[in-house]
Amino acid sequence: MMSTPPIRTHNPLERVLSLLLVTLLVSGMPLHAWAKPKGGQVTEGDATISQHGNTTLIRAADGTIINYTGFDIGVNETVQFLQPHVAARVLNRIMSADPTQIDGSLIANGQVYIVNPTGVFFGDTAMVNVNGLVAAAGNITDENFMAGIDSFTNLTGPVENFGTIHANMVALLGNTVANHGAILAPDGLITMVAGDNVILTKMGEGIRVRVMSDGEPGSVDGTGVTNTGLLDAGDEGTINLTAGDVYSVAVAHAGTAVARRMHAEGEGLVEVTGDVTAGDVSLDGGSIFVDGTIDASGEEGGGSVMIGGERTRVAIVGPNATIMANAIRRGNGGDVIVAASDIAQIFGSLQAKGGAESGDGGFIETSAPYLTVDADIDATAENGDGGHWLIDPVDFEIVDSGAGVNQLTDEAVEGVLESGTDLTITTDGAGAEPGDITVEADADIDVDLTTNGGVRLTLQAHDSVTVDGTITATGDALDLTLSANDQTLPSPDGDAVGDVAVNDVIDTNGGSIEIFGEAIGLNAAITTQGGDFTVTSNDAITATDLIDTSGNSPGGEVVMVAAAGNIVTADIDSSGSDGDAAGGVRIEAQAGNVTTGNITARGGDNTAGDAGAGGQVGLSALGAVDFASIDSSGGDATVVV
């Protein structure tokens, strides 16, 4: 029950206050200097309200519900809730045509709900220090509140903060929600939600947000959730920014956010032009624009940044954007992913670097059917292996200059590989696009791997792979995979449906080469300098120029398998050197013929006159086998035909 009854109109004190109010109006003193909670009536639980000068004390039991005719706090006023424990909840429902205005101090040791359908405003002088705060511009039923169900309906008003809110848990819910001040929840939870109906469900240390909005997607102009101020949930806290489907701009973050996890979503535009520091960042909007800094770096390992989700059609990373998931001291770099179901345009800088003392580079993905990438990509490691960059459009070309949609210049490819980062380009085909990958004739991929060691280049096409330009390496080894619709090994049932054509020189400088596809045509010299060479085809294999896996030490293995067609090759050399063994040669046409030129698999001689072992040569076919010559001398050798 309440120790001070509601003020009534016939009370003589009110008449005095009314006269004083008139005097204040004449003198120009602001009205909010005398604002206080008004007309409080306890409908559930137990509470007492007492006033001591500019301080209102409210002693409330857990689960108490108080209805007010007004709930404002003036600049020099304080409202303090005294609750039995930190988890105790009190619902303050304001039934007024005016929004709640808090310009003074709100203090509580428990959880305070302020619910006013007209709106809730925290002015720039507001100071809130509570264990938990829920400010909602809508309704919640007594039954749901008493049952611990945070289901809010008819969110028709705005909720805005210009002041300072300090709590373990903060939830701002309204038709529109904005923070221009500071919300501090050390290792806690900050939730800002815009929509018509919102349900908050406790999940572990976080909250699951469900938003329902009436109207067509994008039908409401303006922004659902806005942050231009500070959101700080500490090193272990969570920030959720969520808007319903009706907002053309779902979330606009232009301020600063600090948390362990940050998630922003909505059917409209999700815009990040401010700063985000969090170990795990996910943005999921119908469209996404990032032109600020997102830092998911960690001392002992990089975090995760996911730009794009199930609803994302367009993702744009602007030229001023810096996206980081670096390991700072030790550990591996994290993950940076930019993905959209239609269009992605990526500029700026994407980083997933390994630690300065130890650790490998991380993973970077840029994925969309129609993809433009002109960004600085860095998944390097000072004292570890480089990371991986995945490019995933519908079609892709490597060109000499002027890269556009679904293109990358040979210089950009060289830069990534030379930094020590593996590069995979994969296509999936969509609509009228077949999913081809082409290295144009004037595009020469010539990589100098002297500084950062060996790397891998993978071209994984939904349909065909065509290499019309050179691919060469110096300094260290380049592993190369050319695959037509197969991520492992094709099988005779037609897993590989695209062809692979190599029409210019390849030299991997000790790196391996793997080629998978339907029909495979090798129309230029291929050199591995000791790397293995594997070709697997569902149809036929044709090699019109030299295949040379001989090396400065052991020779590389040569394996060519055709499931349905013939295998026709020119000369093959897998010889070793300096006393090392030759690589073996296995050519198998499971349903056709084998025809080869000269096969040389000699063991290498050294200065002492010792020869390495010759390579084992095996030729087999369902049909005929024909070869010009076989030389596997230099030690033990076996020829099987």
pTM of the model: 0.88
Backbone angles phi, psi at 18, to 5 degrees: -65, -45
Backbone angles phi, psi at 17, to 5 degrees: -65, -35
What confidence tier does 10 reach under pLDDT thresholds 50, 70, 90?
very low
Q: Token digits for 122?
A: 């925290």
Average pLDDT over residues 306-327: 97
What confidence tier does 209 reach under pLDDT thresholds 50, 70, 90?
confident
| Identity of the amino acid at 151 | S
Q: Which residues contact 379 (CB under 8 A, 6 or more apart)?
A: 333, 351, 352, 353, 361, 362, 363, 364, 386, 387, 388, 389, 419, 421
Q: Which residues contact 522 (CB under 8 A, 6 or more apart)?
A: 502, 515, 535, 541, 542, 543, 544, 545, 547
Q: Token digits for 304?
A: 């995760």
Query: Dihedral (C-alpha) 152, 157, 161, 166: value to the nearest 10 degrees?
Result: -20
pLDDT at 193 > cutoff 90: yes
The pLDDT score that the predictor gives to residue 492 is 38
Average pLDDT over residues 239-247: 90
What average pLDDT is seen over the chain? 89
The pLDDT score that the predictor gives to residue 551 is 82
CA geometry: angle 33, 138, 96, nearest 5 deg: 45
251-274 as b/e: b if 16+ CB within 10 A: bbbebbbbbbbbbbbbbbbbbbbb
Least confidently predicted of 173-187, 424-438, 621-635: 424-438
72 closest CA partner among 37, 41, 98, 96: 37
As a whole number of angstroms, the distance between CA 581 and CA 602 comes to 7
Least confidently predicted of 470-474, 484-488, 609-613: 484-488
As a whole number of angstroms, the distance between CA 230 and CA 164 comes to 9
Q: Which residues contact 345 (CB under 8 A, 6 or more apart)?
A: 315, 316, 317, 371, 372
Q: Token digits for 279?
A: 């170990």
What confidence tier does 289 reach under pLDDT thresholds 50, 70, 90?
very high
The pLDDT score that the predictor gives to residue 611 is 65
The pLDDT score that the predictor gives to residue 578 is 74
Distance of CA 255 to the CA centre of its chain: 20
Q: Pick the residue with more confidence: 528 or 35?
A: 528
- Find the helix or strand (DSSP H, E) in which 13 lies: helix 12-27
pLDDT at 18 > cutoff 50: no
| Identity of the amino acid at 89 | R
The pLDDT score that the predictor gives to residue 30 is 37
Q: Token digits for 278?
A: 């969090």
The pLDDT score that the predictor gives to residue 638 is 57
257 closest CA partner among 303, 286, 298, 292: 292
Residue bearing tokens 């990032």 = 290
42 closest CA partner among 66, 6, 60: 66
For the chain, which residues make up each domain, given as ranges? 276-392
As a whole number of angstroms, the distance between CA 553 and CA 509 comes to 12
CA dist list (Å): 375 to 32, 42, 46: 52, 60, 61
Distance of CA 53 to the CA centre of its chain: 53
* pLDDT 10s digits, 411-450: 999 999 999 999 999 998 665 667 899 999 999 999 999 8
Least confidently predicted of 157-171, 240-254, 490-504, 506-520: 490-504
